[in-house]
Every structure is written in C-alpha cells, then in structure tokens.
Structure 1
Amino acid sequence: MDEFRINLVNSIWLQFEDVVYKIKPQRSGILKRSKSEEKVILKGISGIVAPGEMLALLGPSGSGKTTLLTALGGRLGGNLSGTITYNNKPFSNAMKRNTGFVTQDDVLHPHLTVFETLLYTALLRLPKTLTRAEKAEQAEAVISQLGLSRCRDSAVGSHVVRGVSGGERKRVSIGQEMLINPSLLLLDEPTSGLDSTTALRIVATLRELVNGGRTIAMTIHQPSTTLFYLFHKIILLSEGNLLYYGKASVALDYFSTIGFAPPLAVNPADFLLDLANGVVSGDSRVDASAIKGRLAAAYAANLLEGVKAELGRGDDSSMMNDKKVNKWSNSWWTQFSVLLVRGMKERRHEHFSTFQIAQVVIVAIVGGLLWWNTNITRLQDQVGLLFFTSAFWGFGAVFQAVFTFPQERAMLEKERASGMYRLSSYFLAINMGDMPMGLVLPTAFFTMVYWMARLKPSPNCFFYGLLALLYSVVCTQGLGLAIGALVMKLKSATFFASVIMSAFTLIGGYYVQHIPKFISWIRYLSSIQHTFKLLLASQFSDDQTYPCAPGNICRVADFPAIKPVGLHGVAQSIIAMALMLVVYRLIAYFALWRIGVPTK
C-alpha cells in the first residue's frame, strides 16, 4: 500500500439544531434534598459542519464544549433533546463506523509500542474483509502520515512509564481514529498540555485531513492566532449559551458591529474568551452577567435566523444503509484472540514487575528460613505454615485482581463507546490472560517454601498442595475482579477487599477455633478456610499420628489447630470454591455492563 486511503466513500454533513442537555446534580452527604433542580448544560445550540470544514468549539471551562462534542459523537446519554443528524439521518451503526472520537486524555497502553498500539486497533476496528497483513499496512500508513516513523518502535509511555513525547502520544491517539478512515472526526482538546509548535503541527495535520473531504470538529482552549485562523468555523459558548457561530475569519468583525471592538494586536481567541467570561477590555465596572446576556441576545437577533436557514443542507444520498451494517467489525473469536495477545503483552509488566518478583522471593526465603526443616514433631509450625500460605496468597490474588478494572476503566469506556468489541470477548480475554500469569509466582513461592521447610517429601503431596494453592488463586482472583468491577475506585476497592479478606482470615479456622454458631456460617464463604483445608489434606491423613507428649502418640486429626477445620469434606471445599470461581466472575461481568455504553 503506497499511501493511506484518504478518498472517502461518504461525506458527512453534521447538523445540530436546538440541542439542550440537562442534568440533575448529585448531592452527597447525610442530609440530601428529596428534590433537586435540573441544571441546563446546553441551551438550544444549533449549527452545521460541512465536508471539508473544520469547526472549533471555544469557551471557558464549564461552558459546555465537551458536552456538546460528546453529544455530536453519539456518546451522550441522559436528558438530551433537540436534533442531531448526519446527512439528515440520526446516529446509527453506519455512522459509528464513519466517526472517529479522540478524547482529551490519551488513553493508551503505556508498555505497547506505537506500532503495536495502532496494529491492535486496526485488527479490532477495521472490517474482517481485510487480511491481517492489509490491516498492518494501514497501521504503517497512518504512522507515516502522522510523522510517527521515528518513534515507531518506542513504547507509548505514560506519566509513570517513560515513552514518546506528549505530542507524539497525541498523534498516536489521533492515528487510532484515523485507521478507520473516518468521514467525521471529533477531538476533545487535542492541543491540551502541548507547546505552541507541537499544537500547531497537530492542527495543521488535521487541516490537511479536512482537504480530503472529512468533517472535523474539536474543542480547543486558547489557541494561538495562527491556530485560530486554521479553522473554517467557530462556535463560542458561555454557560451553555451560544454567543457566536460562523466563519472564524469574520468573528472579530461581527463583535465590532455589536459594540465589542477588539483592541489592536490581540489574539482573537483570547478576546473571544474574555467576552465569554463577561470581561470587556479596559472596563472592569461592567457586570459580567450583563455582558453575557447582551452577547446572547445579539446572537439571537443577528445570527440565529441565518443559522436556521443554513440547516437542512445535508445530502443523505452518500450515507450508508444502516440495515447492511453489522454492529461489529470482526467476529467474536477475532476480538478475543487480539485482546488476549494485547492484554498479555501489556499486563505482563504488572504481573512480573521487579517489585512483584522481589516481594515474592523475599517472603519465600524468609518463610523458608523461619520454617526450616520442620517435621511431624513440630506439627504446630507446619500447620502455621500452611495457613500462612493460604492467607498470603488469598490477599495477594485479591489485590492483584482488584486493580484490574479500575485501571482499565478509561480504556474500556473509550473502546466500548467506539464499538470495538463485545464485552464478553474482552472479559474472557482478561481472565484467560491474567490466569496463567497469576499462577507463575505462587508456583515459585510454594516450590521454594515447600522444600526448604521439608514438608512431606512426596511428589504426590507436593503437587496436591501446589494444585490446591493454584486453584485457590484462580478462585480468589474472581473475588478481586468482582470487587473492582463493582466499586471502580481504587481506594474504596482496596479498603473493601481488605475488610473482606481480613474477615475471611479470622474465620479461616486458625485464629478462632470456636466460632459462635450464629456466625459460623460465614466460614463457608471463606476461600482461605477452604484452601487451608485442602493444604492440610495434602500433608496429613486421618489415621496419621504424631508425638503429642513424651511417650504418647496422638492422632493428627485431633490436633487443636486441625480439628476445627478437619481433614474430611475435601470434596465440599472443592465444589464451594468452584461455585465462587464462577459466581464472582459473573458478578464482575454484569457489573461491567454499565461501562462505556451511553444510555439514551
């Protein structure tokens, strides 16, 4: 492929008329009002963006820019009214396939390279009619078009992982959307946090894309004079009100005609933002609310009629027939396999970080030395080691898994909103990828401690105990996933997981051996107790004895630290843990349904 395909099949006329958006503020605290007034975020916004035009949404923070852009991208649920059409048709699967949306924050996997990031996006978003090689060529073409060849094989990085520069990272985000060759491209603050030169380069690149027939709209905060005049049209918002819609080149002339002439040598964007804030240069005595009211009234009197007349120009002849468009670009199996490989490449850094490995090795060595060469005469020590192993990996597995979905939330919201994959393929890929990686360190730990402590030197006993521990880790991972998916806030999820696992530890049968009957049922929910039972069964048998006193032999099953848990009921524990393994993951799966899909 010599160059990226920029010849568009469809031209998109984006039109929006009388768009109103309301929300009910969330009140926190013990005392809450039973009724709360709705807050109007957008107040009857209208406009049109034609193919080959680039629109800038300007306004101070809180003016409604991002809300309007999100509505135009078909991603805003809730109390939204008015009309938004694409070639005189509502948003649809066909339109989603032709729309690219770049969020303000660069939501990228930090450990993947630039090429890997774009390749996996291409494999998921480009249609199944293209081969893998053709999708890889598309990724290479986008890299070349956006000037990313120099950093092609560099890690994307983040604020904690060293990688490419901020401008390059932003171009990678734009490149992900350019892969689908979108007719409509929406960008939220694409120049945020970038220096003026980098910002100019990015907007100039977008201006070149417009020349291919695309329709582009973006929010932008305080662009330079050069940037300002790269836009064909601008919208100026203030507290949800429309103060100006029209060509960027005549914006200052319009405000001069209504009595707000700019000073000489002023940045047009700075002047317009001052007006949107109700600030008039050289006159600090004028009430800001009055200025905003005058500007909104002037728009209604001078521009609104022209905007209404301009609406309805879109041509619906080029729009795809939505009935012929499948919701998903690729099969379930393709989505699963791509997500599995991508997830394992990214998350291996978390599972096998230097800190994680050092922590496990150090604890294993210390534990092996503390329980060095235990034998049946030190039965209490052996039982203590088995319980410590159960508790240590119960906590470890939960805390490894509880971070998964809170950390993935932004990525899941972004990709689900773009229709990249089914939730089921993503969820199963996460589980299948994390499961084997999560078993490596427990295996290393158990192997080191087992032979250092000289537990029963039998291969059968060793593998029985190892399988019991790994089974426990897989089960407890599900609990961590469920907590993370339900709570979705790292601090809250961590606290919640700590409380649950502490309770499971206390009722695990080692610390409290005589649990009151009215609360004893909780022990059946404790994965730590079930793991403890399985580990005990791997080392001891019901008829085994030990020297309990000089000259006396006692049954191991009657040992005070073993008797409450018992060596029987192994099958029940296996079944109980199997139910936990499935139920916890089902809870996590259904909890994720609310992520990334706007509610209309």
Structure 2
Amino acid sequence: MQFSEVKYRVAVKGTPREILSGISGSASPGEVLAMMGPSGSGKTTLLSMLGGRATAADGCISYNDEPFGKSLKRRIGFVTQDDVLFTHLTVKETLTYAALLRLPRTMTREQKKERAMDIIYELGLERCQDTMIGGSFVRGVSGGERKRVCIGNEIIINPSLLFLDEPTSGLDSTTALRIVQLLHDIAETGKTVITTIHQPSSRLFHKFDKLILLGRGSLLYFGKTAEAMPYFSSIGCNPLIAMNPAEFLLDLANGNTNDVSVPSELDDKVHMENQNLQDTNSKINLRPSAQDVHEYLVDAYEHRVAYKEKKKLLAPLPISDDMKATITSSKREWGTNWCQQYSILFCRGLKERRHDYLSWMRITQVIATSIILGLLWWHSDPTTPKGLQDQAGLLFFIAVFWGFFPVFTAIFTFPQERAMLNKERAADMYKLSAYFLARTTSDLPLDLFLPVIFMVIVYFMAGLKASAMRFFLSMLTVFLSIIAAQGLGLAIGATLLDIKKATTLASVTVMTFMLAGGFFVKRVPPFISWLRYLSFNYHTYRLLLKVQYDPVPDILMTSVPLDNGVTEVGALVAMIIGYRVLAYLSLRRVKASNG
C-alpha cells in the first residue's frame, strides 16, 4: 500500500483548516506500520483515509498503483478505537454472526461457523467463548478479550489490509504486548497491518516494523522503526536522560525539549531571538519554542529523508493474488443475499434484546401496573352511568399506557445502535433495508409478550365484557396501538439520532396525542381539532369503546360518531406504515450525508 502527498482539510467557522499536510509513506505485506503522534496530530484522520473511511482533499492512495474502490472493502479490515459490540451476545455468537454476514456466499453455513471457531482458537478466546461481551451495566469479558473479539470480527474475512485505531488504548502493558504480538502474527501470514498508537512502552515500540511520526498534521519521520533514533540523533536531537524512545519522539513532536539536546541551528536561532528580546528589555527564553522545534523537524525531514522515501514510492509494492482479483473486480459483492441478511439480523436482534425486554424489572413493572389497575377497577359495573364512565377511563388509560410505553422504548433504537450501524455498513456487511426490516420486526415478538400478560390480568379483574371475541378484539386493538406507537418512536429516533433531543420531542408529541385522544376534552376547538386524527391514542380509545359497547352509549359518545371501526383501523395501519417509511428514509439520509 502506498500513499503520497495526502492532505485533508476541514472548515472551521467557514475558514479551511489543514489537518494533514502532504503525508507520504508505504506499507508492504508482512509489515506492521505504526503511526504515532500527540493528540490532535492527525493519526486517526490519516488512518480513516487509508482505510477508505474518509476522502483525502489532495494526494494519492493506492495499492500497487491501483486506486481504492468499493470492491476493495471486502478485503479490508478496520478496527475502531471504541469496542463497538453487542453487550448481550456471547463471544461465539458475535463472531458467528460476523462470519455468516461477511464471508462469501460460496461457503456453506457450516463452513462459516467453522471459520468463526477457528478465529476463536487463533485468538485464544476458547475459554470465554460462551461469556457475554458485557458493558457498563452487564458483566462480561475483560478489556483485552473485548479487543481481541473486535480484531476477530475483522480478520474473520482474511483481509489483505488490516487497520487498527489505538488497539492498546486502556489496556495494561502485558495485555497490550499480547495484542501487538497478535498483529505481528497476522502480518506474518502475508497481511499488511497499519495501526495508530498513542504512547507505547519501549517493548511495544521495538516490535513495529515501520513508523510514521506526525506533529501538527505534518510528517516528522517515516521509515524503519529501528532507524528512528539514529535519524533524530543525526539531526542533533538526543535524549539527555535514559528514556523510552516513544516518549522521546512524542516530546519532540510536542515541541518539548526539556530533556532533549538542542541542535546547533536551534541554539543559534534562540540566541538571536534572545538578543532581540534583550534590546527591547523583554523576558529572556533560553529554550526554543514549540513552533521553532516543529519547523526545524519538518525542514530536516524534507531535506534529509523525504526525497529518498518518495523515490521508493515510485517502485511497485508486492501484491497478493487475492488482492489482484479484488482490484480487477469493480462489482460490489455481498456475503449473503437479502433474505439471508434479514434472517441472520432477525435472529441476532432477538438474542441481543431479549435480555432487556424480558428483564425482571420490566416484567415486574407491567405486572404491578396491571394488578393496581385491576384492584382500582375491581369488577366495575357498566350498568350504571358512573360505572360506565369509570370503565371508559380504564380503556383510555390502556390506550395511553400502550401508546406511551412503546414510543419511549423505540426512540433509543437507532441512536444507541448508530455506532454499530455505521461500522457494519462501512464494511458492507448488509443492505440498510435488510437491517431496518429485521430490526423493526425482531422487536415485535418481544413487544407483544408483555401486553398479553397485562391484558389478561386487567381485563378479567376489572370486569370487562367476558367474551372471547371481545377479549381478542381488544387485544388486537392494543397490538395495533403498540406497533403504531413504536413506529413513531423509531421515526423520531432515526430523524434526530440524539437521545436527549428525541426524548424531548417524543414527550411533547405523546402529551399532545394524549390530550387530543378524546377523553379529557370532548369539545376541541375547530382550529386544532385536526390533531386528534394524528393521535393513535384517539383511534385506539374509539376502537376499545366500540369493542366493549356496541352500540356505544350516548354518555360516552365522542364528538365524531363511531361507525364500524374501519376508519380507526385504517388510520392505525397508515401510521404503522407511514412512520416506518419516515424512519427508513431518515436513516438513508444520514448514511448519504456520512458518505
């Protein structure tokens, strides 16, 4: 892999700011290239461009003189700095689903599962293969094991290029050493490994084959790691005390020369500046400034190394046969067809979310609420006007509760899975339509389990009409309400992709729908009465009245007469479809804006 004069700019308050300025380098199969530099030096930006996750403003990135394209995605592995994994899946399930989605369709399902097991043993994860990944509130595997699972997710496709963003971040030195040794083992199989690293120990530093040192977006050094210290010594920069080479290089990149010998050119410059300061009676500074050090290092690299390294870039790098086939193919290939993608994602969704949906806290919440309602409306008597109004109040509460509950569950769906969706879509694991349909339908069996328990308890404790037909029609009405409300939550979450903003908008929307639902206000002013037709609470309440009392008594009659219920059912079905279409289009818009 080769890259030459790569530049990247961003607009800050309308003014272009250069993040990377002319970075050149290369990495061959069998090598591990490390990119070092202080925070904000552009390491992650450069890695993202080399991995095809961002587009360079200028410069050339190629593999054996061939440009990167979408067809190369299936030969590239990219491990992000954050461990983006599903909390409730086990190690084995995580890698198996990755294998099923990413490996070519020429392999059978069993072969893909065998490949996942091979990776588990290759990474030394066999002891924790049946342990959940875990997270902030769920106990799971260790940090080093999580990182190995992330790497396993990428090497499962046997990539020719593997990119890693700070794979040792947050790990102890021993675990970090294991991870770097693992990268060497991967490289030795003929792969090219490129990684960013923040501040490695001396043991880690010497394990890298090549090194790129960045400072303020400029290239300070590119070459063999073993030649880095001799190079900086040749330009007059030496550590004055025994120190980790990585710390020494980062100090230089930061412009800190407290424990570093200063080159004669910089000494002369400082003395000249101090002479000028003495003339103006200003404070004397005996050390060169960070800007002076940066300019000196950039100038030294340009004059001593850059020309020689750029000449090397003109020579083609060796290329593997599988990458040759990939480069010549311009067609994007999916590991599975659409139906298989849907099926795999549906099963994965069920396994991941069953722990949240069927948690004892949620079940206790629903059962406790239903028992309290049953006791408050214990065998209510619909033959009296007061008892009839009490029952209507219960029906309205059911309509509101099973409209409110699903909305505030569904709004978290896409904001919480945004990082996972971006990661998997960037790797072309599946089509967005397959993910969206699987994600929304895998919730249904889980979403409909608790309402059944709720209705069984409330319906008979409250003394509603003891008829099998009326009970099942009431149940169906609640189901329609739940699916419509869930669609609203999905649409709000997908449109905003921010939990705080989505929660605020959902609160205002649900409150408005509840007030317009036909129970609190019977005579709504004409200029705002149209709101009730957008409220699923309104249509659900009317349907529940229709199911329980046919014909509906005059005392409960709303401002709009009830017909056979077709209008209300049609409105709920339209909401179910409409809200989901809006959610899907919002996700497509976000994907398009992200490139």
The bucket for the TM-score relative to the shorter chain is over 0.9
Other-structure match for 1:211: 188
Offset at 1:285?
3.2
After superposition, the CA RMSD in angstroms is 1.6
- Indicate which of 66, 70, 85 corresponds to 1:108: 85
- In 2, distance between residues paired with 1:476 and 1:105? 33
**TM value normalised by structure 1:** 0.91
- In 1, distance between residues paired with 2:239 and 2:392? 82
CA deviation profile, 1:448-492 (whole Å, cap 9, x unmatched): 111100011111111111100101111111111001101111111
- Indicate which of 375, 381, 389 corresponds to 2:390: 381
- In 2, distance between residues paired with 1:317 and 1:131? 25
Other-structure match for 1:334: 340
Offset at 1:324?
6.5
Other-structure match for 1:17: 4
- In 2, distance between residues paired with 1:210 and 1:429? 36
- In 2, distance between residues paired with 1:173 and 1:474? 34
Between 136-145 and 313-322, report the one with greater CA deviation. Answer: 313-322
- In 2, distance between residues paired with 1:522 and 1:599? 35
The count of corresponding residues between Structure 1 and Structure 2 is 563
Offset at 1:415?
0.3
Tell me if 1:286 matches 2:288: yes
Structure 2 CA distance for partners of 1:598 and 1:385, relative to 1, 3 Å: closer
- Indicate which of 213, 217, 236 corresponds to 1:240: 217
CA deviation profile, 1:203-241 (whole Å, cap 9, x unmatched): 011111111111000011100001001001111111111
Q: Is 1:92–1:322's contact at 8 Å kept on the other side of the alignment?
A: no
**TM value normalised by structure 2:** 0.92
Other-structure match for 2:586: 591
Q: Is 1:533–1:565's contact at 8 Å kept on the other side of the alignment?
A: no
> Where in structure 2 are the equivalents of 1:464-475 lying within 5 Å?
464-475=473-484
Tell me if 1:463 matches 2:472: yes
Between 309-318 and 207-216, report the one with greater CA deviation. Answer: 309-318
- Indicate which of 572, 577, 589 corresponds to 2:572: 577
CA deviation profile, 1:271-329 (whole Å, cap 9, x unmatched): 11111111013478321111111111111111110121111322568412443644312
Offset at 1:82?
1.2
Structure 2 CA distance for partners of 1:302 and 1:37, relative to 1, 3 Å: same
- In 1, distance between residues paired with 2:104 and 2:61? 27
Other-structure match for 1:262: 239
What amino acid sits opposite 1:105 in the alignment? D
- In 1, distance between residues paired with 2:499 and 2:258? 46
CA deviation profile, 1:331-355 (whole Å, cap 9, x unmatched): 1111111111011000111211122
Tell me if 1:314 matches 2:320: no
Offset at 1:387?
0.5
- In 2, distance between residues paired with 1:16 and 1:455? 73
CA deviation profile, 1:33-53 (whole Å, cap 9, x unmatched): xxx101211111110001111
Offset at 1:405?
0.6
CA deviation profile, 1:184-221 (whole Å, cap 9, x unmatched): 00000100100000000010111111111110000111
Tell me if 1:351 matches 2:360: no
- Name structure 2 gaps, 5 residues minimum: 261-285
Q: Is 1:234–1:246's contact at 8 Å kept on the other side of the alignment?
A: yes
- Name structure 1 gaps, 5 residues minimum: 1-13, 28-35, 545-555
- In 1, distance between residues paired with 2:333 and 2:579? 29
- 2:237 is paired with a residue of what secondary structure? coil
- Indicate which of 399, 404, 411 corresponds to 2:420: 411
Offset at 1:583?
1.0
What amino acid sits opposite 2:40 in the alignment? G
Other-structure match for 1:69: 47
Structure 2 CA distance for partners of 1:598 and 1:281, relative to 1, 3 Å: farther
Tell me if 1:174 matches 2:151: yes
- In 2, distance between residues paired with 1:325 and 1:101? 21
CA deviation profile, 1:417-447 (whole Å, cap 9, x unmatched): 0000000111111111011211111121111
- In 1, distance between residues paired with 2:340 and 2:454? 35
What amino acid sits opposite 2:411 in the alignment? V
Other-structure match for 1:189: 166
Q: Is 1:93–1:327's contact at 8 Å kept on the other side of the alignment?
A: no
What amino acid sits opposite 1:486 in the alignment? T
Q: Is 2:490–2:583's contact at 8 Å kept on the other side of the alignment?
A: yes
Q: Is 1:364–1:449's contact at 8 Å kept on the other side of the alignment?
A: yes
CA deviation profile, 1:57-86 (whole Å, cap 9, x unmatched): 101111110010010110114x63211112
- In 2, distance between residues paired with 1:596 and 1:292? 38
Q: Is 1:417–1:597's contact at 8 Å kept on the other side of the alignment?
A: no
- In 2, distance between residues paired with 1:175 and 1:594? 31
